[in-house]
Structure 1
Amino acid sequence: MVFIYEFCKKKSMENNRLKILLSFFLPLLVLPSVKIFAQSTIKGTVYEAPKTPLVGANVYWLGTQQGTVTNQEGKFEIKTSKESKKLVVSFVGFKNDTIDIATNFTNLHELEIVLQSNTELEAVEVVGERKASYTDYIETKAVKVMTEKELFKAACCNLSESFETNPSVDVNFADAVSGTKQIEMLGLAGTYTQITTEVMPSVRGLGAYFGLSYIPGTWIHSIQVAKGVGSVVNGYESIAGQINVELKKPEFDEKQQERMFFNAYIDGGGRMEANLNLSKTFNRRWGTALLLHGSTRPFRSDMNMDHFLDFPLTNQINFINRWAYRNANTGIEAQFGIKYVKDSKLGGEFDYKQNGQTSRIEPIDHSLHTPEEHAERINENFQKIPIWGLEINTQRSEGWGKIGWVNKKKPYQSVGLQLSMTDYRQDAYFGFTTYKGNQQTGYANLIYQSIIGNTNHLVKMGTSLLYDNYDERFNALQFARKEVVAGTFFEYTYTHSEKFNMVAGLRADYHNLFGIFVTPRFHARYAPTETTVFRFAAGRGQRTANIFAENMSIFASSRVMRIQTDNINSKAYGLNPEVAWNFGINLHQDFILASKEGSISIDFYRTNFENQVVVDLDKSAREINFYNLDGKSYSNSFQTEINYELAKHFDIRLAYRWYDVKTTYHGELLQRPLVAQHRAFVNLAYMTRSKWTFDYTLQWWGRKRLPNTSMNPEKYRLADYSPTFFLMNAQITKSFAWSANQKKFDVYVGLENILNFRQEMPIIAHEAPFSRYFDSAIVWGPIFGRMVYAGLRWRIK
């Protein structure tokens, strides 16, 4: 009937008489068709070229909730719809096909639909400007992606310095002598944030204190920052958030391939470094990349005149060699590689020399002496060791591999295996305190992905094994333990159009020291409009505290370490695992103001600890106490962030953050020390047509509660709170490009801490480092003043 209608319609254009007949007979032709169409059931088969049935393809009426999926033979059956006459067929990895049933009415029971693979379509190059930092609209979790462009806004020598322009992550010096920077999220120490490299465990265990400095900034392709709990697929340890680092890798796409990248850097603190990234693709299947890093700080400086080095003398060599394989015919992809880093630090008093007398003095066992006895022992040895120094030597070796297979006939179906082995060795001493730590880690994670019915219902399941062998020696005490954790997980993802999706995950693990525990996690996303997204996250996290390696700043003090437990040799130092629940909500709103794009993000997160290993600096200025939580411990975090394009190539980022972080210390609920309750942030970025780039960051830090030092003599006492202060950084970059041979050359110069603000007396009793009052761990602000740096980048594609 439709055919007759189309024929008459065509002829009517040629003959006016047919128009009259058409108008008379049209109702008689169409009405029966409509009646039959309303009562019909449409059947068909969905194929991929060359006519292979597709299982689980979505078939639905456009603009409605009525739909079905194809069976094991690629067949489907669907009732006709009164609301729509267009049938849509979709499948992951293929181009959608829309059939107008009104024009294909004769084949309602024998439809054959062949979907075309996206890989077979002609390439379309979309030219546009991606923001240096952005949040994925579709992603269920609120993940902030920091691109290479964002990292280039500051010096970014290593991962610990990569968050200067990110208001969600706080960066602070851990102490006043080692030069180490630590991060915080949601007001909690960086150890509560799961840090992975390409979704595999990275900075953890004994390497948590210095591990961020072992990932050079020039190796980083992008960073994904997410607050709150993460996916159960990646383990159970995340509590405050996750930071995933994507390193530079071989690119099989010639347009994306970067054959060579070279970076050189020098700053006013005497730090010099060079980085060289080389990449080579041999053919369509094999490629390799070699990432090299070398840095040194050979010069001594004492800007605050406290007779201690502002930064330790350092030497580091670091490299990665990685290989990539892919076979488009079989769907197999693999990556594997090795990494090695050797790092040495020498610091302390200005005149301290390497291999000083400190290493030849019998160490004092802090835990076996009272503060008074400890002071006497120090006085006895004072004449033998006139100069206080520290030396830290670290070696880390790692090998890893990932292999995955994607079913070519069912692209939604895949299997992946992640493997890694790490050996970490550290030998350090701080004055009289000696510490040696060795850790061997093995990790395996098997992941299977498929669908239930159709691609709206995605599942991931698998099993994992984590093995840690710890051997630590703190002065005369030795701690050794093995942790073996075997787990299984299941994660379900539901997608309902682009407006709503959710991820529900559950994993169960058996720990050889702590038994069985279950980790549930849930994420949801709702987008009522194309510019508004609500996100919610909730879940549980658990981790084992490594009290010595994670609090190494205390080694650079005269505090006596005390572990309050009934059996120090059981479990992990006799302490229970840390367990917390995290809940969070996020609102992201895009907007256009004065024809310019912008966005605003507001979030609130709450972390409740069921148990926590409390690090108590308040009970006594002479001690540091470790014990299991007895009372409340929580963190409330509120943040709002605005990003706006003031003019073409001129962006502004504004942020404000509020923390309420409290823990029960020796029976009293107190604000966590050294955490700023308020922080404000401004970042400006502007690029001219002539490739000049200007970046400026201003931060305001609110006051921080300081640990109790009231029992010290008056000259060694600190105030209850630190003052508020501003930090101001700026950088100018000039880019030179030669498009003919695809070379790009950047020169940059920057200034950190422009206002030259420094913390007064960062080292308590610096003139008497072997006295009972010496303490370099209470650092609340910058310890180095204004510093200039410069560098260059050269890349060849």
Structure 2
Amino acid sequence: MKLYIKLIFIALFTVLTTNIFAQTDSTATFEVSGNCGMCKSRIEKAAKLTGVESAIWNIEDHKITVKYNFSKVKLASIQQAIAQAGHDTPLFQAPDEVYNKLHECCEYERMGENHTTHEHDGDDDHDHDHDAHAKENGTDNHEEDHNHEHIITGVVVNEDNKASLTPISNVNVKWLEGPKAQVTSNENGVFKIKHDKGNKHLVFSYAGMQPDTIEVKNLHEVLVVHAQNNVLSEVVVSRRKKSSYINALSANRAEILTAQELFKAACCDLSESFETTVSVDVVSNDAVTGSKQIQLLGLSGIYTQLTVENLPGPRGFATPLGLNSIAGTWIESIDISKGIGSVVNGYENMAGQINVELKKPHNSERLFFNAYANNMGRTDVNLNLAQKINDHWSVGLLLHDNFMYNKNMNFSDNGFRDIPVGNLFSGINRWHYENGKGTIAQFGIKYLKDDRTGGQVNFDKSRDKGKTDIYGLGFDNERIEGFAKIGYVFPQNRLRSIGLQLSASNYKQDSYFGLRNYNSEQTNGYANLIFQDIIGSVTHKYKVGASMTYDKYKEDIESNNFDRIETVSGLFAEYTFSPSENFDMVLGLREDYNSLYGWFTTPRLVARYNPFTGNTIRFSTGRGQRTANIFAENMSILASSRTLDYAALKNNQDAYGLRPEVSWNTGITIDQNFQLFGRESGVSVELFHNNFQNQVVIDWENPRTVSIYNLDGKSYSNSLQAEFRFMPAPHFEARMAYRLLDVQTDYKDGKLQKPLTAKHRGFVNLAYNLHSGWSFDYTFNTVGPKRLPSTSANPSAYQLANYSNAYITMNAQISKSFGADKNFTIYVGGENLTNKFQKDPILAFDQPFGQYFDTNLLWGPITGRMFYTGIRYHIK
């Protein structure tokens, strides 16, 4: 097998690198941040180093095309020169002292710390995507009514014969209609003038120049007025914010959901953060515990590596209830990467990685408050605080409190609470340090307390726990975590850095399900050391490092003890080959030692290719391995009368006496961006295949028992997804998608489709945003039939059909922002507007202590139509 892996890597490397871009003359296109004509002049001048034939920066898409001699100048040197002039590039960030001296008009939105994501301030009027429309070419598609008050901002500059731009002060600006009050441009050429209802035309005049009258087509665009040959004329620069996008610079396909995307729905916690994307499914595990799981590529969430700022997220025993522990208002962005990922982040990734970036104290709002309530008795309160202490230190506090006290919520009228009641509190205190000389450090502490009670609506814990009169269940969970990230970027070479990631946590769970008790505790330690640099030029980059994971598990289930200690230590190396802006290939290899299973190897390959403008093709393949925590990850088993065969499991030997799970994932994605009716559009197609070499099979096909055993045969998943994105009108975004899943496993009774997984899913998301502060969002989902585990061995009264019904859900939200800074928002919305919910979510609900009781056969929503409202307020 190892020889086979080596041959694949050698063949792929040879095919992809032979004779590619061997000539010395090269052309590259990359993003450079900027706003206006002054930026254009500055950027192009900085780029023209010795060996550069031409450099043209496009004000519309903020990309520069450079023709250069590869033997005389390196692309990294060109990007570095542009950054030193004050403009961020993908590889280099402009020094703060240079950026702060730029003209007011040139103050663009900075690229993020990693140069692949962007910092977001929650303002709908700003983003990294820019469109420039000249008045004379008639390409302005952003016309809107002039019936509201607003402040118009603009700048007046003079362009000489050498295309140099200088600001003009004391230019008179007034409205042609209405009051004749006028303003003048300041020393930087910038002016601000109040717009009254009905005003459409601005008049510009300056001594010695021919005046001009300009029609204001969009009240929220920045007007750039050029004076050339003593004539004033207009250029309009507008900005549109994308709430979700595909990271064009990463070799691995990453879908980025920004905070603005999360605001499209009532995103109270991470489990509710994927309602407006088709890539991730979030489903309830059962009909009574309220626990949820994500599904990626048709596989359970345990096969998706969940990280928080590239540190381990809720894992192991914390997996079932971990999605509820991260508040939506804490999130700055979510990166969704399907298929295999980087070896730097570990070996457990089998279906993809979801990385959650939280708000950082040095670049987030000083205060953010959110309050939410719905008609089902749920209330959420969030408070984020951030304070910059001095030039080096910043501190932040993120708080989340969730209350659920409607003890009688029971849509199916079966006498059981649809959602447990109780309280969940979580908080983070984090610190950020940066000395401006290359050292960056982040550290903090997280805390979670989750205390909930479920079961029959009249269950009282103090009275009924441990008895057979009334069925009840409950959780008492506590988690504390400390984390630190320390990095150093070498000042003389910003491409060389070293970083150390550290985390330690303790998770305790005391729970009961009727007469069954389940108690667990996990102590985890994690360390990851990473060094990265280039070999000669940015064509050859590499990362090397070492990692260690320590887990101490204590687990008691129905008087059976399954304690173990598992440590995994390893080394990794990753090489990136980037001969041009159009091609990247990443080869990664890990070698790890597991204290229970010995040595194992993790090879991975990812490639990105742009064959022509707007088109990106990506390919990935690699291996993943993980250890199953069979009880914690399938805790819903306990909320049933199904028996567990403990005799087949081995105490204190490996992990339950089962082999580790191993799979190979291969995928290809194609993204094509284009203009449709003059507006940005795109199509994406994804195909992934996951093949298990070994899997811990959870067999539900006998309604009286749950069997757990190692795979004997084949298990695989195939996922095909197609998505279409376009803008039917200004400020109106639409996304439509279809997904097909084929997930099959060899059980003891033969090959079967994975139960409770829909083969077909359709998705539509519509978003309409107005600069007046109104936002309208609508999401439509159609979910196909799901195969149900066999119940044929039950009496006819407790038998279900082989397949569930298909169903449709609709969610909608309307929000309105107020104030000059749009910092106060009121939102109202509804979920599951079709009121579609499963009528029989619990089998044998009338006999909860009988032999046919089962809460695990949940295929649809458990609750019906729900309405909510809330407020948001922030201070930047």
TM range (shorter): 0.7 to 0.9
User: Are 1:768 and 2:847 matched, yes or no?
Assistant: yes
SS of 1:738 mapped into structure 2: coil
Residues 1:270 and 2:270 are matched in the alignment: no
Instruction: Answer 1 or 2: higher relative contact order, Cα 8 Å, separation at least 6.
Output: 1
Q: Is 1:698 equivalent to 2:809 in the alignment?
A: no
Task: Flag the 1:350–1:671 CA change in 2: closer, same or farther, 3 A.
Answer: same
| Equivalent residue, structure 2, for 1:537 | 620
Query: Shift in Å at residue 88 of structure 1?
Result: 6.2
Is the 8 Å Cα contact of residues 744 and 754 (structure 2) preserved in structure 1? yes
Q: Distance in 2 between matches of 1:525 and 1:454?
A: 19
Pairs within 5 Å for 1:447-458: 447-458=530-541
Aligned to 2:578: 495
**Within 2, Cα distance between the matches of 1:158 and 1:266?**
14
2:77 matched to 1:91?
A: yes
| Change beyond 3 A, Cα 1:661–1:461 | same
Change (3 A) 1:710 1:88: closer
| Local SS of the residue matching 2:349 | coil
Indicate the residue corresponding to 2:21 in structure 1. Answer: none
**CA spacing shift, 1:83–1:134, aligned 2, 3 Å:** closer
Structure 1 residues 89 and 320, CA gap change in structure 2 (3 angstroms): closer
Q: Is the 8 A contact 2:700 2:790 kept in 1?
A: yes
Q: Which moved more, 1:335-344 or 1:728-737?
A: 728-737
Mapped partners of 1:116, 1:791: distance in 2: 38
Q: 2:80 aligns to what SS in structure 1?
A: coil
Supply the AA of the counterpart residue of 1:572.
A
- 1:341-352 map, 5 Å: 341-352=448-459
Return the alpha-carbon distance in structure 1 between the equivalents of residues 762 and 384 of structure 2.
36
Greater mean alpha carbon deviation, residues 410-419 or residues 125-134:
125-134
Deviation at residue 125 of structure 1 after TM alignment: 2.4
The whole-number CA distance in structure 1 between the counterparts of 2:711 and 2:646 is: 13
Q: Is the partner of 1:550 in helix, strand or coil?
A: coil
Deviations 1:605-639 (A, max 9, x none): 00000000000000x10000100000000000000
Residue 702 (structure 2) pairs with residue 616 (structure 1): no
2:860 alignment counterpart: 781
| TM-score when normalising by structure 1 | 0.82
In the alignment, the residues of structure 1 paired with residue 483 and residue 770 of structure 2 have an alpha-carbon distance, to the nearest angstrom, of 42
Q: 1:493/1:60 Cα in 2 relative to 1: closer, same or farther (>3 Å)?
A: farther
- Residue 637 of structure 1: which of 698, 705, 719 is its match? 719
Task: Find the aligned partners of 1:430 and 1:93 in 2 and give their Cα distance.
Answer: 60
1:234-270 CA-to-partner distances (Å, cap 9, x unmatched) read: 100000010000001112xxxx541000000011111
**1:128-527 counterparts in 2 under 5 A?**
128-251=239-362, 256-300=363-407, 301-329=409-437, 331-359=438-466, 384-527=467-610
Partner of 1:591: 674
Give the letter for the 1:644 counterpart. Answer: F
Counterparts of 1:484 and 1:736, CA distance in 2: 53
1:326/1:351 Cα in 2 relative to 1: closer, same or farther (>3 Å)?
A: same
Structure 1 range deviating more: 433-442 or 179-188:
179-188
Change (3 A) 1:563 1:454: farther
What is the rounded CA distance, in whole Å, between the counterparts of 2:848 and 2:681 in structure 1?
53
Give the distance between the partners of 1:500 and 1:564, measured in 2 at CA: 54
In structure 1, which of residues 645, 666, 681 is the aligned counterpart of residue 748 of structure 2?
666
Whole-Å Cα distance in 2 between the matches of residues 87 and 332 of structure 1? Answer: 29
1:577 paired residue number: 660
Distance in 2, matches of 1:769 and 1:229, equals 42
Q: Note if contact 1:220-1:248 (Cα within 8 Å) is conserved in structure 2.
A: yes
For residues 595-606 of structure 1, what are the structure 2 equivalents within 5 Å?
Answer: 595-606=678-689
Pair 1:627 & 2:706 matched:
no
Q: 1:83 to 1:688 in 2, by over 3 A?
A: closer
Percent identity among equivalent residues? 49
Give distance in 2, aligned partners of 1:82 and 1:630.
Answer: 58
The CA deviation at 1:356 is 3.7
Tell me, in whole angstroms, the C-alpha distance in 1 between the residues paired with 2:307 and 2:48: 35
Contact 2:412 2:838 (8 Å CA) reproduced: no
RMSD after superposition: 2.2
Cα 1:564–1:668 change in 2 (3 A) is farther
SS, match of residue 305 in structure 2: strand
C-alpha distance 489-85 of structure 1, shift in aligned 2 (>3 A): closer
Offset at 1:96? Answer: 5.0
**2:615 and 2:342 mapped to 1: Cα distance?**
24
Query: Alpha-carbon deviations, 1:758-780, whole Å to 9, x = none?
Result: 11210000011000000001100
Deviation of 1:87 (Å) = 5.6
Check whether the contact 2:464–2:472 (CA below 8 A) recurs between aligned residues: no
Residues 746-761 of structure 1: pairs in structure 2 closer than 5 A: 746-761=825-840
Against the structure 1 CA distance between its residues 326 and 753, is the aligned structure 2 distance closer, same or farther, given a 3 Å change threshold? Answer: same
Q: CA deviation at 1:337?
A: 0.1
Check if 1:729 corresponds to 2:811: yes
Instruction: Check 1:60–1:355 CA distance in 2 against 1; reply closer, same or farther (3 A cut).
Output: farther
SS at match of 2:562: strand
Contact persistence 1:92–1:411 (CA under 8 A): no
**Residues 85 and 224 of structure 1, relative CA distance in 2, 3 Å threshold:** closer
Shift of 1:61: 4.6
Does residue 1:684 correspond to 2:763, yes or no? no
1:397, distance to aligned residue in structure 2 (A): 0.2
In structure 1, what residue type is equivalent to 2:802? D
Structure 2 CA distance for partners of 1:234 and 1:85, relative to 1, 3 Å: closer
Q: How many angstroms does 1:409 deviate by?
A: 1.2
Q: Which consecutive residues of structure 2, in runs of 5 or more, have no partner in the other structure?
A: 1-46, 55-66, 85-91, 109-125, 127-238
Matches within 5 A, 1:45-124: 61-62=51-52, 90-91=76-77, 94-95=80-81, 119=96, 120=98, 122-123=101-102, 124=106
Change (3 A) 1:90 1:554: closer
Asked if structure 1 preserves the Cα contact closer than 8 Å seen for 2:445 and 2:481, the reply is yes
Shift of 1:84: 10
Provide the rounded CA distance (Å) in 1 between the counterparts of 2:68 and 2:595.
61
Secondary structure of the 2:655 match is coil
Letter in 2 for 1:193: T
Q: TM-score, normalised by structure 2?
A: 0.75
Amino acid at match of 2:527: A
> Post-superposition shift, 1:118?
5.2
Larger C-alpha radius of gyration, 1 or 2?
Answer: 1
